[in-house]
Structure 1
């Protein structure tokens, strides 16, 4: 026989590909039972899969973390610099309250 012998497919799990930007990918985690039960309960209430509920909760947790960091930074800036070129504290608070309202209403993270 001339040439190479084609590699035989041995079955099993296919080779992993790099995930495409914007596409969902897998994450396997171990959870304490009470947390798993809470995610399951919330998923049932929302009519979603547990995976979608967990992803949504993670997105919101990161959004809250970013929001609090932004708020802390803005509060320090407005406190240290007073009104000199910075937004007045009322404007900062209004923006903060608006972002909190978005998170509470579910508009602060994509739910899939």
Structure 2
């Protein structure tokens, strides 16, 4: 199975179900988000995903508007708040200024 075959097949399935085509980068973003939500430290996610820009944190900071669409009310809000604090600390420690560091 090749990368292009896999994406083509996924898009065939999605479009036949009425969804739009998705670029391969969607898997990169989704994978990073899933790892963060599972508690994997941000520096590990950054390394594993070969993120070289602050786009990694930009996606995370957009998560507050995305998550409510996908997570039921049974989600552990304390855990999500903890993850948000971890990401803000990571941004400050790595001098990526997407948040104000105190």
Q: TM-score, normalised by structure 2?
A: 0.31
Report the TM-score, using the length of structure 1 for normalisation: 0.29
Highest RCO, 1 vs 2 (Cα 8 Å, sep ≥ 6): 1
| Structure index of larger Rg | 1
